[in-house]
Structure 1
Amino acid sequence: MTTDLLYLPPLAYFVAISGADKVHVHADAKLSRQSYVNKAEILLTNKRETLIVPVHGLRKKLALKDVKIDYHQKWLNVHLRGIKSAYGKSPFFEYFYDDLEQIYLRKPNFLIDLNLDLLTLCLKFLRWNVSLVVKEKEEEGDQKNDLRGIIHPKLLTSSDLVYKPYPYMQIFGPNFVSNLSIVDLLFCEGPAANEVLNLSRK
């Protein structure tokens, strides 16, 4: 299976890759300004909040492997504070937050490393035995089970091909907000996250 390497991906991403034993991501993929590659959505007091990782060279359509994170902007504290504000009182905050924070505090230079480390951690939390393979360039056969471009904030109908929202208990408000970052589900549901993902399949 081939897919994009996203930043703290939404639930539709995990529904799409569930059951795969190997997931290929491409280091030479061109960065899209509108994608989830450097942004994630969490829930704060009844509204979606978008966390964006600022990067150098976004306008130059660089390959993902060449995109550097911009630490001159104070995004790191904003993201960590945002996650704490959103999920500090959630049932499973203490189980997951410290490991998540450690990845941020390592301050990887490149976006591909941040995304890969966070995705690896989320798969570990889910206890999925998935092998992540980073490929340097396109190879024959990569188009088989190719999900690149499917999970995209501007292409909600594409996500609908694989994902149907299944409500679970969230921290803020009575109205369920669907397809947030996987951290929303992990902090709120912990071990039950897998059941929710299974019930979210089309």
Structure 2
Amino acid sequence: MLLLYPTYFSPIIHFVAMAHKNEAFFEVEDNYQKQTYRTRCYIYGANGRQLLNVPILQANSKQKTKDVLLDHSVNWHQQHIKSMASAYKSSPFYEFYEDELIALLLKKHKYLLDLNLDTQQFIIDNLPMEIQITKTTEFHLDYPEGSDFRFLANAKSKQDFNLSKYYQVFSDKYGYIQNLSILDLLFMEGPNAINYLEAQKVEWK
């Protein structure tokens, strides 16, 4: 069993965990938590590690994540599209995914969870990854050892997963940046991204 939070264009390590399973559960019955990858991802911009933040309407820890509303009063969709294009227009594979990516971001989802589930499906389809996804129907704090990977959603974690290096657009300028959004790997490696994920050997702590 593998249990994960569906987050916004998740870090690479999220998909490393998925690449070694044929079934995963997405936690959708949790209460909202701040400082997670639900509302952010990091790409490799011209000035290094770049944050893309997803604005939400006010939410608190007593509110279900699935009820959290996106804030469309700011044009973050276009900001993300522009930032991704600026960062990856010279990458080998960005143009192959650009149209579908833009269409996803312009859907203007009502709920944060729906956006994140769509970003997960976008990646699963384009890697492509053969995995069955099931959404949880109730929340449990504890799961069997080795199955609960919800901790990967913590954006403040400093854990080093020692992932293999691959070439990045600005690596000659700033060096290799580990565990960025899966988009970085997809745009740089294209069809080989799934092979990269499957080749990673991680000692989970």
**Structure 1 length as normaliser, TM-score?**
0.90
Which stretches in structure 1 are left out of the alignment for 5+ residues?
none
Question: Contact between 1:42 and 1:48, CA under 8 Å: does it hold in 2?
Answer: yes
Q: Counterpart of 1:147?
A: 149
Q: Counterpart of 2:6?
A: 5
- How many residue pairs align between the two structures? 197
Q: Counterpart of 2:134?
A: 133
Q: Counterpart of 1:180?
A: 180
Residues 139 and 36 of structure 1: CA distance in aligned 2, closer, same or farther (over 3 Å) = closer
Distance 2:43 2:171 in 1: 14
Name the aligned partner's letter for residue 6 of structure 2.
Answer: L
List, as ranges, runs of 4+ consecutive aligned residues in structure 1 with deviation greater than 4 Å.
none
How far has the Cα of 1:143 moved from its partner? Answer: 1.2
SS in structure 1 of the partner of residue 188 of structure 2: helix
SS in structure 2 of the partner of residue 108 of structure 1: coil
Distance 2:199 2:18 in 1: 14
% identical aligned pairs: 30
Which stretches in structure 2 are left out of the alignment for 5+ residues?
none
Identify which of 160, 164, 167 aligns with 1:166: 164
Distance 2:116 2:50 in 1: 19
Question: Contact between 2:7 and 2:37, CA under 8 Å: does it hold in 1?
Answer: yes
SS in structure 1 of the partner of residue 148 of structure 2: coil
Distance 2:77 2:186 in 1: 21
Within 5 A, what are the aligned runs for 1:29-178? 29-138=30-139, 143-144=143-144, 145-157=147-159, 160=160, 163-174=161-172, 175-178=175-178
Question: Contact between 1:31 and 1:37, CA under 8 Å: does it hold in 2?
Answer: no
**Structure 2 length as normaliser, TM-score?**
0.89
Distance 1:61 1:104 in 2: 28
How far has the Cα of 1:155 moved from its partner? Answer: 1.6
Distance 2:10 2:69 in 1: 19
Question: Contact between 2:93 and 2:190, CA under 8 Å: does it hold in 1?
Answer: yes
Q: Counterpart of 1:19?
A: 20
Residues 72 and 60 of structure 1: CA distance in aligned 2, closer, same or farther (over 3 Å) = farther
Cα-Cα RMSD: 1.8
Question: Contact between 2:43 and 2:49, CA under 8 Å: does it hold in 1?
Answer: yes
Distance 1:198 1:191 in 2: 13
Distance 2:153 2:57 in 1: 23
How far has the Cα of 1:19 moved from its partner? Answer: 2.1
